[in-house]
Amino acid sequence: MRENNNTSETIAVFGAGGFIGSHMIEALTATNYKVLAIDVDLKKLAEVLPDSTNVTTIELDITKDREKVEELIKDSDIVVDLIAYANPSIYITDPIGTVTLDLFENLWITELCVKYKKFLFQYSTCEVYGLDNGRNQPFNEEESLLVVGPINEHRWIYSCAKQMLERIVHAYGIKEGLDYIVIRPFNFVGPRIDYLIDDKDEEGNPRVFSHFMSALLLNKPLPLVDGGINLRSYTHIEDATDAFMRILENRQQFNREIINIGTPENETSIRGLAELMIELYNEETGANFSAGTVDIPSEEFYGEGYADCDRRIPDNSKIASLGWKEKYNLEEIFRDAIRYYIKNNEFVTQ
Q: Which residues pair with 225 in a beta bridge?
A: 296
Query: What's the half-sphere exposure (Cβ side, CA atoms, 13 Å) at 37?
Result: 27
Is 341 among the residues known to form the active site? no
> What is the rounded distance in angstroms from the CA atom of residue 241 to the CA atom of residue 237?
6
State the Cα–Cα distance between residues 152 and 133, nearest whole angstrom: 18
**Which secondary-structure segment (H or E) carries 183?**
strand 180-185
- Distance, in Å, from the CA atom of 120 to the CA atom of 226, rounded to the nearest integer, reads 38
Residue of 158, 234, 281, 328 marked active site: 158
**Dihedral through CA 163, CA 166, CA 170, CA 172, nearest 10?**
120
194: Cβ contacts below 8 Å, ≥ 6 apart: 19, 205, 206, 207, 209, 210
Residue 118's identity, in one-letter code, is K
Pairing of β 188-189 and β 222-225: unpaired
C-alpha distance from residue 38 to each of 62, 65, 141, 189, 212 (Å): 9, 12, 29, 22, 30
CA 131/CA 99 separation, integer angstroms:
19
Q: Tell me the catalytic residues.
A: 158
